Structure 1
Amino acid sequence: MTIEALIIEDDRDLAEAISDFMELDGFEFDFAYNGVAGLNLASENSYSVILLDINMPKMDGLTVCQTLREKGISTPILMLTARDTLDDKVKGFSVGTDDYLVKPFAMEELQVRLQALVRRSLGTVQKLTVGDLCVDLDKHTAVRNNQTVTLPPACWKMLVCLMQHSPNVVSKQELVTSVWGEELPNSDSLKVHLFKLRQAIDKPFETPLIHTIHGVGIALKE
């Protein structure tokens, strides 16, 4: 599973080093090199976790974090700072950060902290909603416009993958991996199950939610 994450860090070398180290754990990072750009990315996209440096140009990390929380964005935030004082940590936690890591740090410690935040995030999100479609991961149910949608196992996995990444585009290879692992049972399996998913999720309703982005992949969005 790809873990979509955002790093807001003006040290480009450090940002790249973090991305390279976490790649094997399935992390895929977007980058922002100033606070305003980071705030915009975090507001417009859905991430599993955000790494946020306090000392950022244009807008400091504390302000970015506070603004995201005021917008109702609850994505876990790991704050990075060169300052190791109790006052700084209190300020960070008071504006809504979830964890705190002081520079310089070992990549292995960053890895453990990020994995813990992602587990906590995935563990608390039991319902996913896009438009009038609601998926309950705990009850294993999908409901659109108050109507229960019945799906075979492969289509269910595909729907959950698309919902978790919404509104972003999911490549066809990512869909394959989320349902069958690295290899398709046969060359038509993806096409067949996408058709079945569309028949269940979109056909009975006025507005389609599943969109093909030609040459890129599939997106589930309003």
Structure 2
Amino acid sequence: MLLVEDDRELAGLLAEMLDGEGYETDQAHDGQRGLHLGLTGHYAVMILDRRLPVMDGLGLLSGLRRKAVTTRVLMLSALGEVSDRVAGLDAGADDYLVKPFEMDEMLARVRALCRRDLDGADCLPLGEAALDLVRREVILERGRRVTLSGREFELLRTLAQRPKVIHPRSSLQTEVFADTNGESIVDTYVYYLRRKLGRGVVRTVHGLGYQLGAV
């Protein structure tokens, strides 16, 4: 998570609650720092206050969207008029929560934004997780993401596109590793995927090949 909130006491409280729910939270206390982190980091969800020093939340959000950052954004604000909410959503926010709010509601909204990624058209299901085809990452529970190398991504995508098929090592070598010699390269990258995502991500069907497992 990226949390951009200038009220340091509130930011600490929110970060503590998010961390308690299993999220990893980076903090920024002004819009400029928030923009820098938003452009250089990889986050499941960003929580942005609307009134920020240096650059306000709308400017920050517009800057992210102009740079094609598609991360889900929950905007927080004491400005609760319909026109204020419309302005936030039109700037690119996915949800808008008016202060003061109940912490349980904020956490529920964060969970809902994380689920949108799991249900997205640009994702392939991996059991309870998903493969983000745009960012080439695996989205795990609570929005945690695992970055894959190019070859890891291509191998996992090939398995996920036909999850019920048992893929012989020879066909995987041809489809994913055509520029290399030897089927052992398939075993190497299966090992890499298991090291990052757990042994269950790829199932070995002895004598036949590999099949998508579950993360």
TM-score normalised to the size of structure 1? 0.63
Match of 1:61 in 2: 57
Q: CA RMSD in A?
A: 2.9
Structure-1 separation of matches of 2:31 and 2:54: 6
Please give the per-residue CA displacement for 1:47-72, whole angstroms capped at 9, x wherever unaligned: 00000000000001001111111100
Question: Which piece of structure 1 moves more, 21-30 or 62-71?
Answer: 21-30
Residue 24 of structure 2 aligns to a residue whose secondary structure is strand
Match of 2:12 in 1: 16
CA shift, 1:144, in A, is 6.8
Does structure 2 conserve the Cα–Cα contact (< 8 Å) formed by 1:154 and 1:179?
Answer: no
Structure-2 separation of matches of 1:9 and 1:62: 13
Match of 1:156 in 2: 193
Match of 2:198 in 1: 179
Structure 2 residue runs of 5 or longer lacking an equivalent are: 124-131, 138-147, 164-171, 201-215
Q: Does 1:97 find its partner at 2:93?
A: yes
Match of 2:3 in 1: 7
Match of 1:188 in 2: none
Residue 92 of structure 2 aligns to a residue whose secondary structure is coil
Structure-2 separation of matches of 1:72 and 1:111: 26
Does structure 1 conserve the Cα–Cα contact (< 8 Å) formed by 2:18 and 2:25?
Answer: no
Instruction: Indicate which of 69, 73, 78 corresponds to 1:73.
Output: 69
Letter in 2 for 1:21: M
Residue 198 of structure 2 aligns to a residue whose secondary structure is helix
How many residue pairs match? The answer is 159
CA shift, 1:105, in A, is 0.7
Larger Rg: 2
CA shift, 1:157, in A, is 4.0
CA shift, 1:30, in A, is 0.5
Identity between Structure 1 and Structure 2 (%): 35
Residue 46 of structure 2 aligns to a residue whose secondary structure is strand
